[in-house]
């Protein structure tokens, strides 16, 4: 029952400009984004992740760097880039303004039945979901085997990647994943068990983080909700 902390990268220059960055190189954190990541790192100073996996894109690497700096020398492993956690390949939509893309005929399908969407010249949302879910579940199984049930590890990735992983954990059809909100530098947490995954946090920000349940308290669903 290892616990994975799913962190979306902090605010990027593309976020601020209203652009769909995709895999465009050189998309950095804004000063506000760097501060978001610093504040999150301060709240995570007592966490001792045994593995950190991240998208190879700059905005995720920079988010990890700021979190690490704020954790002030706490023992942390080196980050492991994993291309399975890379941003969606948006193909011909990459780099365009979201306001312009909202006028495209595919936009409504993306909102209502995303599993049916393939981006022009890019990948489908279903393909993205399959690779992201397989990567997170695979890393989690390795972490638990290597470090035990109480281990905590981190993923730093992108909004749609994290939403797909959360939808899988909740047993939601992919067509409902747009109902999930994963804003920049938010933290979600999942504990996978042999019976089912448990969602411990969804889209929390540094100023709203609370203590996660102890491992033995999340092994089964609690009638009445527990404490």
Q: Which residues are annotated as a binding site for substrate?
A: 8-15, 59, 87-90
Task: Return d(Cα 121, Cα 125) in angstroms, integer.
Answer: 13
| Dist. CA 196–CA 94, nearest whole Å | 36
Binding site as annotated, residues:
8-15, 59, 87-90
Rg (Cα) of the chain, in Å, rounded?
17
Token pair recorded at residue 45: 């100073």
Residue (of 198, 201, 190) closest to 218 by Cα position: 198
**Which entry of 9, 54, 139, 158 is annotated as an active-site residue?**
9
The CA–CA distances, whole Å, from 79 to 38, 61, 73, 127 equal 17, 8, 15, 24
**What number of H helices and E strands is found in the chain?**
7, 6
Residue bearing tokens 């652009």 = 19
Which one-letter DSSP state was computed for residue 64?
H
- HEC secondary structure over 15-63: HHHCECCCCCCCCCECHHHHHHHHHHHHHCCCCCCCEEEECCCHHHHHH
**205 included as an active-site residue:** no
Would you call 87 a catalytic residue per the annotation? yes
Catalytic residue among 87, 139, 144, 158: 87
- Active site positions, annotated: 9, 87
């Amino acid at each position: 029952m290892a616990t994975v902390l799913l962190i979306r990268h902090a605010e990027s220059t593309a976020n601020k400009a209203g652009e769909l960055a995709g895999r465009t190189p050189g998309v950095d954190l804004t000063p506000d984004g760097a501060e978001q990541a610093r504040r999150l790192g301060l709240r995570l100073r007592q966490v001792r992740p045994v593995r950190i996996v991240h998208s190879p894109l700059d905005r995720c690497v920079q988010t990890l760097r700021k979190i690490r700096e704020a954790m002030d020398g706490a023992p942390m492993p080196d980050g492991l880039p994993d291309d399975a956690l890379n941003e969606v390949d948006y193909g011909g939509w990459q780099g365009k303004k979201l306001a312009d893309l909202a006028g495209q005929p595919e936009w409504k399908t993306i909102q209502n039945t995303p599993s049916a969407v393939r981006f022009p010249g890019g990948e489908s949302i279903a393909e993205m979901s399959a690779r992201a879910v397989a990567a997170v579940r695979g890393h989690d199984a390795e972490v638990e085997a290597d470090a035990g049930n109480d281990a905590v590890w981190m993923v730093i990735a992108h909004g749609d990647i994290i939403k797909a992983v959360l939808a899988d954990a909740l047993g939601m059809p992919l067509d409902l994943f747009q109902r999930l909100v994963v804003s920049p530098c938010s933290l979600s947490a999942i504990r996978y068990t042999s019976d089912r995954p448990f969602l411990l946090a969804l889209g929390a920000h540094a100023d709203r983080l609370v203590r996660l349940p102890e491992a033995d308290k999340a092994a089964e669903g609690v009638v009445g909700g527990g404490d």
